[in-house]
């Protein structure tokens, strides 16, 4: 099986430090004009942050304050319309 | 904690070689010579899992051309430098490669000899079968496969005795060098079902160490559908109840109980039944099987997620699209499955690239419901999720379960130093910890604050008020005692509330709180030790 290569102590500490610093401030940045209407974000979000606008065939982000910054929508969006970053 | 443990487990080439020598009591040399004697000077040789190059050295002294593979860069580095120092490296090429991907690097029928020493047993059962099939394809029709490995004795009695005798040596070796082996089971059958005729050339250590020579059978065709499938059922028994109890309190402590990765059948599935994917944490698999057993006919593809649940596994990089693809290819599904439909857990979407799986397999990939109990309805509903199926809730039962899981580890972390340094505080600390934790679990939805850290403020006030009432009614604390215990319960409240945040995908990970927790700990610690002295307070 593929081995799991564990990072060194320094990288681990830095990674945790980085997470502790940024996790609270990460926000979804969504570009509606790039949305292709695949609704993968709606499909995977565990905390109901996306709403489908039926008449326009696109989604709308409604999760400010509820988003848990899990990165699922960012990873699954084939259009690259969603970003998670410190604003 | 898990990462600390894994770091310690990491193998280093020099200690690995020592460990293997210890485990085999130095008997490997004779086996290596036997393999060497079977090799002709013109042969093209493939070595799977060369490790530190102990066998490669012997082969290099004889064969014309050797391809030596390993998954570990450290091992390859060690082996190639060792062979260079001995002047044996001219005909050896070292490559970093996973044995499971052999077919994409070498053409069929390109080797006279394939050898492997103590490497096949490192693979999962499914991986072993897959690699044996690949070996058969890579060998020339007249070629031979030599496999030297540790085997479990046949028969339950012999197996138990052998384990008992080996246990002290295994433990000692593992502690000294972090090296161990995983004895092969029923290996002759595996060779036969991969299309080999096998004979045991040599054995040692009471038959546990065996060298097999396997030659390709001329008249053999790989079966398309698995003739023998492993069925899984939901059958709670004493063992699963003990596992549940352990999981209730200590699930965060590795090593995690895990299920052998592979393809399993639930009910009576056929070539059109849906394929469900999940991680190989024991509790995860059992919770997926329970609602499906006796209700649906499906395939369950259990993927190696390092024994971690799907959400944390995907978030931590252990359950990935690559891992799922690996299990998918090994399972042989693509050869016989007709509906080509795969259902991934919605809660692995944070780390598994669905598009990559679609592109590599050409299959339809759906995101299933959040909770395993909803899977049967979801399947009957033609893969349509209701709003409730796609949303994470954190009901009382989950909250009680997760607070217990947190208490197991954190209880030890907090109570062990208390017992050692402040023995008289054990019972108050234990009662406070249990009381605060379970009260928080009960009252969570009604405690104001949008995340765990903010909720810890009202929690701390409620707990302080409770302590005040207790001290007025029953206890008779003096002011200094009251102050110090007050600090204690505030610290516990912050810790419990801030850490519980990470136990459900309802709020951001608890790492978001670590900086604040450290700061609050400093302030509280300062107050605890300095303030009474500054204001001239004494008991």
Q: Which residues 1-30 of A have a C-beta within 8 angstroms of B?
A: 1-4, 6, 9, 12, 16, 19-21, 23-24
Q: In this structure, how many other beta carbons lie within 10 angstroms of the beta carbon of residue B91?
A: 15
Whether A48 has its CB under 8 Å from any CB of chain B: the answer is: yes
Instruction: Using CA coordinates, name the residue in chain B closest to A71.
Output: B350
Do B350 and A16 make contact, defined as CB atoms within 8 angstroms?
A: no
Contact indicator for B131, B197 with CB cutoff of 8 Å? no
Whether A64 has its CB under 8 Å from any CB of chain B: the answer is: no
Contact indicator for B22, B176 with CB cutoff of 8 Å? yes
Do B506 and A47 make contact, defined as CB atoms within 8 angstroms?
A: yes
Task: Convert the pLDDT of each residue in B329-387 to its tens digit.
Answer: 888 888 889 999 999 999 999 999 999 999 999 999 999 999 999 999 999 999 999 99
Give the confidence band of B262 by pLDDT, cuts at 50, 70, 90.
confident
Q: Quick one: pLDDT at residue B314?
A: 94
Q: How far is CA B258 from CA B84, B267, B285, B344, B509, in A?
A: 41, 22, 9, 19, 24
Contact indicator for B369, B278 with CB cutoff of 8 Å? no
- Taking the CA of residue A23 and the nearest CA in chain B, the distance in Å comes to 5
Determine the Cα–Cα distance for residues B9 and A74; give it in Å rounded to an integer.
Answer: 34
Contact indicator for B257, B283 with CB cutoff of 8 Å? yes
Q: Is the pLDDT of residue B399 over 90?
A: yes
Do A72 and B322 make contact, defined as CB atoms within 8 angstroms?
A: no
What is the mean predicted confidence (pLDDT) over B394-416? 91
Name the residue facing A6 among B3, B98, B506 (closest C-beta): B3
Instruction: Using CA coordinates, name the residue in chain A closest to B96.
Output: A2
Contacts of A76 in chain B (CB under 8 A): 349, 353-355
Do A44 and B367 make contact, defined as CB atoms within 8 angstroms?
A: yes
Q: Give phi and psi for B364, each to the nearest 5.
A: -80, 130
Do A1 and B127 make contact, defined as CB atoms within 8 angstroms?
A: yes
Q: Report the length, in residues, of chain A.
A: 87
Contacts of B347 in chain A (CB under 8 A): 46
Task: Convert the pLDDT of each residue in B198-230 to its tens digit.
Answer: 999 998 877 788 999 999 988 765 555 455 567
Whether A38 has its CB under 8 Å from any CB of chain B: the answer is: no
Contacts of B125 in chain A (CB under 8 A): none
Do B346 and A68 make contact, defined as CB atoms within 8 angstroms?
A: no
Task: Convert the pLDDT of each residue in B69-118 to its tens digit.
Answer: 998 888 899 999 999 999 988 889 999 888 888 887 899 899 999 999 98
- B254 by Cβ neighbours in 10 Å (0-12 / 13-18 / 19+) ranks as middle
ω into B255 cis (within 30 of 0): yes
Instruction: Using CA coordinates, name the residue in chain B closest to A74.
Output: B350
Q: In this structure, how many other beta carbons lie within 10 angstroms of the beta carbon of residue B393?
A: 11
Q: Residue B3: which of B396, B230, B317 has the closest Cα?
A: B317
What is the mean predicted confidence (pLDDT) over B47-65? 89
Whether A78 has its CB under 8 Å from any CB of chain B: the answer is: yes
Q: Quick one: pLDDT at residue B11?
A: 60
Task: Convert the pLDDT of each residue in B468-518 to its tens digit.
Answer: 998 888 877 788 888 988 999 999 999 999 988 888 888 888 888 988 999
- What are the tokens at B88? 């044996």
Angle at which helix B238-250 crosses helix B396-421, to 10 degrees, equals 70
Do A3 and B72 make contact, defined as CB atoms within 8 angstroms?
A: yes
């Amino acid at each position: 099986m593929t081995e799991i290569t564990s990072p060194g102590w320094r990288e681990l500490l830095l990674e945790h430090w980085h997470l502790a610093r940024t996790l609270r401030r990460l926000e979804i940045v969504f570009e509606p004009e790039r949305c292709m209407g695949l609704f993968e974000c709606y499909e995977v979000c565990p905390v109901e942050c996306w709403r489908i606008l039926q008449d326009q065939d696109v989604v709308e982000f409604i999760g400010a304050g509820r988003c848990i910054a899990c990165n699922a929508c960012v990873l699954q969006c084939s259009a690259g319309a969603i970003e998670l970053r410190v604003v | 904690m898990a990462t600390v443990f894994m770091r310690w487990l990491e193998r280093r080439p020099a200690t690995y070689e020592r460990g293997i020598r210890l485990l085999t009591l130095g008997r490997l040399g004779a086996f290596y010579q036997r393999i060497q004697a079977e090799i002709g000077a013109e042969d093209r040789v493939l070595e799977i899992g060369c490790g530190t190059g102990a066998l490669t050295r012997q082969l290099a002294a004889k064969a014309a051309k050797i391809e030596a593979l390993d998954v570990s860069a450290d091992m390859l580095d060690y082996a190639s430098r060792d062979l260079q120092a001995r002047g044996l490296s001219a005909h050896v090429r070292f490559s970093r490669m996973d044995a499971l991907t052999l077919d994409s690097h070498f053409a069929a029928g390109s080797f006279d000899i394939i050898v492997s020493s103590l490497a096949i047993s490192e693979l999962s059962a499914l991986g072993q079968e897959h690699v044996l099939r690949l070996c058969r394809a890579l060998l020339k029709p007249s070629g031979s496969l030599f496999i030297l490995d540790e085997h479990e004795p046949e028969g339950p009695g012999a197996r138990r005795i052998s384990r008992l005798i080996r246990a002290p040596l295994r433990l000692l070796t593992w502690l000294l060098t972090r090296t161990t082996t995983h004895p092969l089971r029923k290996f002759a059958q595996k060779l036969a079902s991969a299309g080999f005729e096998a004979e045991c050339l040599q054995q040692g250590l009471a038959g546990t160490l065996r060298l097999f020579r396997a030659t390709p059978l001329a008249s053999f065709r790989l079966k398309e559908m698995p003739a023998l499938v492993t069925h899984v059922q939901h059958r709670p028994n004493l063992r699963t109840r003990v596992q549940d109890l352990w999981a209730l309190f200590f699930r965060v402590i590795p090593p995690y109980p895990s299920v052998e990765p592979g393809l399993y059948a639930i009910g009576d599935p056929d070539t059109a039944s849906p394929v469900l994917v999940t991680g190989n944490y024991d509790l995860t698999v059992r919770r997926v099987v329970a609602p499906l057993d006796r209700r649906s006919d499906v395939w369950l593809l259990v993927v190696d997620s390092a024994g971690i649940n799907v959400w944390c596994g995907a978030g931590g990089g252990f359950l990935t699209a690559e891992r799922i693809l690996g299990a998918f290819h090994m399972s042989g599904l693509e050869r016989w499955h007709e509906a080509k439909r795969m259902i991934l857990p919605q809660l692995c979407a944070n780390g598994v690239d669905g598009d990559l799986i679609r592109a590599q397999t050409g299959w339809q990939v759906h995101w299933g419901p959040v909770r395993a109990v909803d899977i049967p309805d979801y399947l009957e509903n033609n893969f349509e999720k209701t709003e409730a199926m796609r949303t994470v809730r954190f009901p009382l039962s989950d909250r009680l379960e997760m607070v217990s899981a947190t208490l197991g580890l954190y209880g030890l972390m907090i109570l062990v130093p208390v017992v050692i340094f402040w023995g008289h505080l054990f019972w108050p600390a234990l009662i406070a910890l249990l009381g605060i934790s379970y009260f928080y679990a009960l009252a969570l939805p009604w405690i104001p604050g949008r995340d765990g850290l903010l909720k810890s403020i009202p929690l701390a006030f409620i707990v302080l008020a409770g302590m005040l009432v207790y001290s007025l009614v029953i206890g008779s604390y003096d002011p200094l005692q009251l102050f110090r215990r007050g600090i204690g319960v505030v610290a516990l409240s912050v810790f419990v509330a801030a850490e519980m945040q990470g136990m459900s995908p309802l709020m951001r990970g608890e790492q978001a709180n670590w900086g604040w927790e450290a700061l609050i700990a400093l302030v509280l610690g300062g107050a605890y030790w300095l303030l009474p002295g500054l204001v001239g307070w004494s008991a």
